[in-house]
Chain A
């Protein structure tokens, strides 16, 4: 059998297939739940090397050994036996735009996504206008030695590189959900940028046409070699509807000396989803890693992008924004570990809570002994849109070195009566006035995003506030 066919069968793309009754369109594992047999089956389907199978099986043991964490959001209703861990699409789905549910179409409409892109997102249009653009970009990247592919192809085509870095930044036994991902991962991106290469245009997951995109257990690995730079944008802001209630991704970044990686995400999960993601980057000497992270939707999100500053002069930056609507809990924040001298970090976290929504900032700042001259600033701001909304802050700070400079600032604000009156006295409706305050609140994050994403982020939050999404 030609290998290509196998790979095509492996598409595990929630954007493409999440809108439909899974029974009609999916082939999935013979049963729910997870055991070594299921893991072995996944690995065999992908025709993986032996070491990856071993990696998966060992990770599965860690998953079984580790208790479900109780320090964060409420996971008591999470039933690991009720999940299909591997789903692959049937061939020739033969679906059209007419099959896409009305509410999804409406959402695309409100977001102002072009028709061609909508079809691609809904999984009905294989051809996408930007494909031409993508191909010329891809040629340019390949000329300079850049690898940008899906993780499964990455493993197949660049096994040595993958083997060197995969699971090193986030070991399988790091936490229960990293272990689960390590056992059953599928999809995600693999990026390698050679020394001194600067990629000017952000790499975007949706450029990878006809390849595995986002999935339930996607796995992304980005390596920026010495003196290189890359901006990676994950997925898209369209609502990700999935029949499955668990999304557990792992993202590993490695920035070699003088390299720079920025990783931007805006996620918008359906309201039944547990979104439990482990993201971590290692920054070597004078390297910079930046996470820009937007979290909307989901029942519970637990996500704390981390940067380990292991080389002198390394810098880490984490910008996150979370929106918790009715019944949602966004438990998010960031972690920075200063393990070398003269390293610096900045964590800016913004959360918005509405109705019975709850947002939690949970952050860790750790400075190892010997990390002299390190600087860190943590700022978390919460905005409450009404009386019953809730916010909590858990900033853990462990400092073993005296010669450092750390600052921590936390604010909680409400959309005040006077503020609304002021804006309304200039002709803005109450909704428009609240939206203006909220958009202003997230402006420091939005301005770090490419313009089209910033606009979508603002629109999405506005739609969430109107209660018209999800």
Chain B
């Protein structure tokens, strides 16, 4: 599904991701855990094709296609999705209008207004959202929790092949976290892969990962099963730094 090889990323001349390899198979859910500043968000933005970053080396292959030259919209059409940590506000554009435009952009055949309406209603119900929410302007005045639910709502509407979730759990209370996890588990299946990027182990209780990676200073320093997340929870990032930090391994 996704193959990352030797990826190096710079922003404003400063290297953030320093050689990263990763493979996500079809139907797998991977977690990337790491402390602040380890390069997690940079990685997720680059996977989706944010123009601000420079990829200086390596490759990203998605469903057999090198996505290096592809714009974000083309990657979305291939089936990639990024749930943003800080989604932008778009005043004057309703959630419903945005969902309609987005869904019809990625689909080969446009949905009829009735089909669209039903689909929005159905997915909002899963996310336990008030139908009136669809008429609000996109992310404008949304609480942190509403923004994250809205991201997952978009994911359910677009039905991507690969979802990258950039700290979707941060700032959520336990109820909201469960709703978000429910949304992700809704899509879980042999055709759906995900990368759950997080600082904390908490979300992984609700979205069980097949594989856990620990990111530190721009590299994946260790990988394992879900027991790695538990170890991390117990011992903290200082343990990772001591075990795998740049000081001991370079």
Contacts and interface: CB of A to CB of B under 8 A. Distances in A.
Nearest to B50: A421
A428 B73 contact: yes
A6 interface: no
Contact of B73 (A418, A424, A440, A443): A424
B93 A443 contact: yes
Nearest to B107: A427
Interface string B93-111: 1000010011001100000
Contacts of A437: 90, 93
Interface string B62-98: 0000000001110111000110100111111100001
A425 B72 contact: yes
B52 interface: yes
B101 A425 contact: no
A427 B91 CA distance: 19
A161 interface: no
Interface string A423-442: 11111111011001101111
B154 interface: yes
A419 interface: yes
B92 A427 contact: no
Given A424-B72, A432-B101, A441 B92 contact: yes
B60 interface: no
Given A436-B98, A436-B101, A424 B92 contact: no
Given A427-B105, A436-B98, A440-B137, A417 B52 contact: yes
A446 to B, nearest CB: 8
A433 B45 CA distance: 18
Contacts of A424: 49, 71-73, 76
A49 interface: no
A427 B49 CA distance: 12
Given A432-B105, A437-B90, A443-B92, A427 B73 contact: yes
A93 to B, nearest CB: 43
Contacts of A436: 90, 93, 98, 101
A330 B49 CA distance: 36
A202 interface: no
B88 A429 contact: no
Q: Which of B51, B72, B77, B106 has the most CB of A within 10 A?
A: B72
A353 B73 CA distance: 25
Interface string A397-431: 00000000000000000001111011111111110
B92 A422 contact: no
A422 B72 CA distance: 9
B31 interface: no
Contacts of B33: none
B165 interface: no
B48 interface: yes
B158 interface: yes
A470 interface: no
B51 A428 contact: no
Nearest to B140: A440
Give the bracket for the number of chain A residues in contact with chain B. 20 to 34
Contacts of B138: 440
Nearest to B73: A424
Contacts of A22: none
B158 A440 contact: no
A422 B101 CA distance: 13
A444 interface: yes
A418 B139 CA distance: 14
Contacts of A432: 101, 105
Contacts of A417: 51-52
Contact of B76 (A427, A440, A441): A427
Contacts of A444: 92
A425 B81 contact: yes
Nearest to A428: B105
Contacts of B105: 426-429, 432
A422 B52 contact: no
B120 to A, nearest CB: 14
A427 to B, nearest CB: 3
A92 B47 CA distance: 66
A427 B102 contact: yes
A424 B71 CA distance: 8
A429 B77 CA distance: 10
B154 A426 contact: yes
B101 A440 contact: no
A429 B137 CA distance: 20
Given A425-B73, A428-B73, A429-B73, A418 B92 contact: no
A440 B93 contact: yes
Contacts of B101: 426, 428, 432, 436
B154 to A, nearest CB: 6
Contact of A442 (B73, B87, B88, B92): B92
Q: Which of A422, A427, A429, A444 has the most CB of B within 10 A?
A: A427
A430 B73 contact: yes
A278 B51 CA distance: 46
A421 B84 CA distance: 11
Contacts of B137: 440
Nearest to B72: A424
Contacts of A428: 73, 101-102, 105
A95 B92 CA distance: 44
A413 to B, nearest CB: 9
Interface string A324-335: 000000000000
Q: Which of A423, A426, A432, A441 has the most CB of B within 10 A?
A: A426
Given A425-B81, A428-B73, A432-B101, A439 B92 contact: yes
A426 B92 contact: no
Interface of B: 45, 48-52, 71-73, 75-77, 81-82, 84, 87-93, 98, 101-102, 105-106, 137-138, 154, 158
16 contacts: A417-B52, A421-B45, A421-B50, A422-B87, A425-B73, A426-B105, A426-B106, A427-B76, A427-B105, A428-B73, A436-B101, A437-B90, A437-B93, A439-B92, A440-B137, A441-B91
Interface of A: 416-419, 421-430, 432-433, 436-437, 439-444
Given A425-B84, A430-B71, A433-B73, 18 more contacts: A416-B88, A421-B48, A423-B88, A423-B90, A424-B71, A424-B73, A425-B48, A425-B49, A425-B72, A425-B82, A426-B158, A428-B101, A430-B73, A432-B105, A436-B93, A436-B98, A440-B92, A443-B92
Q: Which 8 A-B pairs have the closest CB atoms?
A: A440-B92, A443-B92, A427-B105, A426-B102, A440-B93, A427-B106, A424-B72, A427-B76
